[in-house]
Structure 1
Amino acid sequence: MEELRLFFAIDPFQWSDIFTAILCGFIVGLERQLRGKPVGIRTSALIVLGTYLFVAASNSMINDVTDTSRIIGQVITGVGFLGAGVMLAKDGIVVGVTSAATIWVLAGIGVAICVAGEFAAIKLSVLVVGILYGVDVMEAYFASLTRGVHSKFNTWKNRR
């Protein structure tokens, strides 16, 4: 029985936190994937999980000479490069900014699992979906929200 317990041990990580990271990524990624947007389920789950793993690992190395908060800063910088990779400029219009922001907030959710706990991270994931979906609903009802660069007729896809 002890061998079985050791086989499933993943210290310093927690299985419940890993499942929470995957669930949070699934919640946000499902919304993106159902709407045909970049950063679907697989990518979202991996971003949240990866961020959780880095922060949890750094938290396990607490001693007099380490500053584990630097890992969070490095994650923010590294995830910024991922976000930059999904943005594209075509004919003077930048697309993919929402997907880039989604990547950034997914990393924040991974940090929240370690810092604020599992339930806070799940609530934040639902809040993100509420923002992503809710703004589209508002745009459908209020024409004033679809002016300028937010116009449905002024997007890069519609100009091709």
Structure 2
Amino acid sequence: MISQLEMVSRLVMAAALGSVIGFERERLSWAAGLRTHMLVCVGSALVMIVSAFGFKDVLGTANVVLDPSRMAAQVVSGIGFLGAGSILLRGEVIRGLTTAASLWAVAAVGLAVGGGMYTASIAATIIILIILAGVKPLERRFIAVRQQRSIQMFVEKGSVSLDSVHGALGSGSVRVKQLIVQQSEDDSEVDHVQIALSRVTPAEFEAICQRLESMRGVREFRRLP
């Protein structure tokens, strides 16, 4: 049986390692942020401690056979409800998969800390943080070449519709993901149009902007970041 000080130290260390990963998620304003990751890490560490040392008093009893890993194993499957709660479907875009994966990974870190595997838990925390914060810029630069782009236009009332936009863009691979036409609040003869395009490279986006800007009735054209 480990000492009381060692037990508390493991829980504190789990909270610290969970906060490191949670801070990166909190920085991006995700629902599962700092406190969620800390709680998951501390909770899984506590379950691991209970699983490994909580049944020492009855292990020597006759006809009692226990598997110390069974409680810890439930963390791996049980953390799924938090991961599912952090995944959101917005239109055709699924958001939150990375946060769900980080919650699952933090639970594993907590189990490692609870089991006294300090080197493995610290190394895993560093690797997870590198994946979350360090790989994303590389992913944006080298992998996410085709991405969603948005355009904002102020047009003459009734001059732009989904058919006219498709007609201007042609029947290529360009995909209009969303088209919003909103009338001006001051009752002027101007509509506010916002278009979201998916699977568009920077070169294609520039060509699309030129086509849309030359459409009939367009008074003002803006490229949104």
TM range (shorter): 0.7 to 0.9
Q: Which residue of the partner structure matches residue 25 of structure 1?
A: 18
TM-score, normalized by length of structure 2?
0.57
Residue 42 of structure 1 deviates from its aligned partner by 0.9
Q: Which residue of the partner structure matches residue 5 of structure 1?
A: none
Structure with higher strand content: 2
Q: Is the 8 A contact 1:12 1:57 kept in 2?
A: no
Where do 5+ consecutive residues of structure 2 fail to align?
151-176, 178-194, 197-225
Residue 93 of structure 1 deviates from its aligned partner by 2.2
Task: Give the 3 Å change call, closer, same or farther, for CA 153–106 of structure 1 in structure 2.
Answer: farther
Greater RCO between the two (CA within 8 Å, min separation 6)?
Answer: 1
Task: Give the 3 Å change call, closer, same or farther, for CA 66–152 of structure 1 in structure 2.
Answer: farther
Q: Which residue of the partner structure matches residue 135 of structure 1?
A: 135
The size of the alignment, in residue pairs, is 144
**Counterpart amino acid of residue 27 in structure 1:** V
1:39-75 deviation line (CA, Å, top 9, x unaligned): 2211111100000001101111152511121112211
CA distance in structure 1 between the partners assigned to 2:148 and 2:37 by the alignment: 26
- Between structure 1 and structure 2, the one with the greater Rg is 2
Matched, 1:111 2:111: yes
Matched, 1:83 2:83: yes
CA distance in structure 2 between the partners assigned to 1:152 and 1:126 by the alignment: 31
TM-score, normalized by length of structure 1?
0.78
**Counterpart amino acid of residue 42 in structure 2:** L
Residue 38 of structure 1 deviates from its aligned partner by 3.0
CA distance in structure 1 between the partners assigned to 2:14 and 2:28 by the alignment: 22
Matched-pair identity in %: 30
Task: Give the 3 Å change call, closer, same or farther, for CA 54–13 of structure 1 in structure 2.
Answer: farther
Q: Is the 8 A contact 1:146 1:152 kept in 2?
A: no
Q: Is the 8 A contact 1:51 1:110 kept in 2?
A: yes
